[in-house]
Amino acid sequence: MNLNRIIFIVFIGVLSSFLSIKAQTRNVITLDSDWKFTKGNPLNASEIDFDDNSWETVSVPHDWAIYGPFDKEVDKQVIAIEQNGEKVATEKTGRTGALPHVGQAWYRKEFTIPEYENGKKVILTFDGAMSEPKVFLNGKKVGEWNFGYNYFYFDITEYLSEDKTNTLAIQLTNKEKSSRWYPGAGLYRKVQIIVKNRESIDHWGTFITTPQISSSLAKVNIKTKVTGENIRIETQIFDNDNNQVASANSDIKFGNEFDQNIAVSNPNLWSPENPYLYTAVTKLYSNDELKDEKTTRFGIREIKFEPNLGFSLNGEVRKFKGVCLHHDLGPIGTAINKSALRRQLRILKDMGADAIRSSHNMPSIEQLELCDEMGFMFLAESFDEWAVPKVENGYNRFFETDAEKDVVNLIHATRNHPCIVMWSSGNEVPDQWGTEGVKRAKWLQEIFHREDPTRPVTVGMDQVQATMQSGFGALMDVPGLNYRLHLYEEAYERFPQGFILGSETASTVSSRGVYKFPVEKGAMKQYDDFQSSSYDLEYCSWSNVPDDDFVLQDDKPWVIGEFVWTGFDYLGEPTPYDEMWPSRSSYFGINDLAGLPKDRFYLYRSRWNTEDETLHILPHWNWKGREGETTPVFVYTNYDSAELFVNGKSQGIQRKHNTTPQNRYRLMWMDVKYEPGTLKVVAYDKNGIKASEKEIKTAGKPHKIVLTPDRSELSADGKDLSFVTVSVVDRKGNTCPTATQQLKFEVKGVGTFEAACNGDATSLEQFHLPTMKLFSGKLVVLVKSGKETGEIQLKVKGKGLKSAQTTIKSIKN
């Protein structure tokens, strides 16, 4: 027998042994394709023999409501929004996005479990289901869960069919007046089946912490809950390059838990600037037979919240540069898509943000995975309501019975993510008033402490005077103030913690590319076109403009950072137009619903992104009919001074100064008279030397469409997305900022058209139809990969415009 033959036989033997070992441990099956879906309440839909041939076939994650149409009558609410200071009830028509999320629906799927053997344990897991899911398997009810944002699971071993073909059915119910924003609808997050041995690591049974860290050594504590007797555990730790750096074995259980302390030499610490991840591989043996294997990513990092010093990460004091995010992804709704989430985070990273607050809901696992990888600290929030309602059919119905198990699941499902540095037990809950609210706050905080002693707890408090009087604010680990800038000083003096967090800030409103005159600072301003001015001086009755927060963040060391409302526009809550149809999405975003940056993006970037140059001019310079009229010009830049020119004529040099918050952070020329042509800004460094320049020109008639994909290569997985920005230029290539043409989209090749969005909060065009109007000269088209490799072609055309085409490759990774 020759040497090559011997090597081949040995290789096959090792491979067979490896496959056998893997088969003995666990199998994770994602139920993502070929689901049957119907809206309504068909009789006995849970029964295995129900005829679902007429039902729609969908993939999960799935949001049934995002396809519309928009309808004024959907979830119309006559209500006074107390959080906004309203005293009189009025009709709110777009509060939950005006999309058809209300009602009941069913999902059904047939599945088999390959190589299933008696004696195995089978777990059915949901990352979220909107809402009030009731779960049936083979005609029998397995269980139910009330909170639509929560992760939950069931042991379905005893419900499995003997002939191996199983029918899973889920009933979902969304009630009217159950949300303050668009909640989505359906199985909008991942559904999985886990097949494992009886002797195994419990679901969410691993808890990794790093209680002691120095430059030379880190103590990694791993607690592992297991099921089984006469078992031992082995854990190996690998660095980011897959090199083993530590290991430990144990056969000593404390109850049903192993507790291992493992030393890692010269640890690479996780931070937003260095999101370094380790991997723990835990193996469970019974009589030297491998029974289970679980892989957990984690980071080594140290967090502290200290009086007067504030927040520190790995021994360095820093302030949160954070944004709040609702869970919808604009034109694709709430259905989780990792590439859409990654795009959001790339945009925020470029702005200089380093933190996310999941508001006001439990985050998706995919979002946390990306924050681990890309470097974002995370404030993971639980509830928008406790026992006292904000909306009639909100979480208040379940608080007393479900709050503890919902919090436990939140913590157990997510606690190994190093990005999470803080928990939030609530947002602007009406329970801030009175002694019962204090008791609830203490009860919830103690649950968080019991399940995770390593992270502090906050609440987004808007009733700050009440919390100062009742003791509510004093008991929180981290006192979070939503707005109420005038109370920061008093709260700092009266609360014992020694620091204040801006848990929700700004709520400035604007519409991308829309500018209103005269340019004035003001609250709750409204216009006939239902848009808000992008001069970034308009806000809500309870809120403020960004510069007011900047002053406190920069001047008060005991203010430990902010989470701006919001990073992106979201569906629902169209303040200040929530009484005015057809407004149906928010104006709060630093980026619009399509993910296109508003002017405000560059104001935050000029302060937060300390590595890259920011030099941004507003407004656009197409103002036919305003010739000779005062048209103020703002420049957002990280330079201290700049000179403005209109058609070569200097308008003077402006320098940042402390006269007002706006003068401190913006360069403003308030008396510029509009004339068509070229607007140019020249920025100077601290020595008065020219450092950079930028110009914008008055555009002519729209002539040609321009396509700019954010990614030119996609994974051929049937899920990956490219976001293609569509704009229009004149014959000289100047962007046309006021273009509103209707465009049509065509996708050919190995991909599909997924959706389009223009960022207009008043648009009633449906996202999934291949046509849409430009808004302020732009829109975004989403192209999705198929499961084949090759090319995807997107063609965009519009009447009177030169069409454009771009090619995106679909590749195997």
CA 425, chain centre distance (Å)? 18
Task: Give the residue from 469, 448, 338, 457 showing the smallest Cα distance to 403.
Answer: 448
Which tokens hold the place of 4?
């090559």
Q: Is the dihedral of CA 623, 625, 627, 629 positive or negative?
A: negative
Looking at 428, 538, 573, 675, which residue is catalytic? 428
Phi and psi, residue 125, nearest 5°: -120, 145
Rounded Cα–Cα distance for residues 147 and 155 (Å): 19
Interstrand relation of 244-250 and 257-265 (parallel, antiparallel or unpaired): unpaired
Which tokens hold the place of 240?
């980011």
> HSE-up of 493 (CA within 13 Å, CB side)?
6
Rounded Cα–Cα distance for residues 544 and 590 (Å): 14
Place of tokens 């389009």: 756
Which tokens hold the place of 682?
């020249």
Q: Radius of gyration (Cα) for the chain, nearest Å?
A: 28
Burial 310-324 (b: 16+ CB within 10 A, else e): bbebbeeebbbbbbb
One-letter amino acid of 107? Y
Does residue 132 carry a catalytic annotation? no
DSSP E strands, 457-499: 457-461, 478-482
Which tokens hold the place of 241?
């390059």
CB of 741 within 8 A of CB of 729?
A: no
DSSP 749-796: ESEEEEEEE---TT----TTSSEEE-BTTEEEEEEEE-SS-EEEEEEE
Rounded Cα–Cα distance for residues 266 and 729 (Å): 54
Rounded Cα–Cα distance for residues 305 and 498 (Å): 9
Q: How far is CA 432 from CA 401, 495, 666, in A?
A: 20, 15, 37
601: left (phi over 0), alpha (psi -120 to 50) or beta: alpha
Does residue 316 carry a catalytic annotation? no
Looking at 366, 381, 385, 504, which residue is catalytic? 504
Rounded Cα–Cα distance for residues 489 and 619 (Å): 36
CB of 65 within 8 A of CB of 104?
A: no
The H or E element containing residue 4 is helix 3-24
Rounded Cα–Cα distance for residues 371 and 377 (Å): 7
CB of 57 within 8 A of CB of 82?
A: no
**Using CB atoms within 10 A of its CB, is residue 242 exposed (0-12), middle (13-18) or buried (19+)?**
exposed
Q: Angle, nearest 10°, between helix axes 399-414 and 434-451?
A: 30
Place of tokens 């656009």: 620
CA 609, chain centre distance (Å)? 20
Q: Omega into 133 within 30° of 0, i.e. cis?
A: no
CA 503, chain centre distance (Å)? 16
Rounded Cα–Cα distance for residues 76 and 102 (Å): 11
Rounded Cα–Cα distance for residues 624 and 632 (Å): 15
Q: How far is CA 41 from CA 57, 173, 691, in A?
A: 17, 10, 66
Interstrand relation of 310-313 and 316-317 (parallel, antiparallel or unpaired): antiparallel
Q: Give catalytic residues, as residue numbers.
A: 428, 504
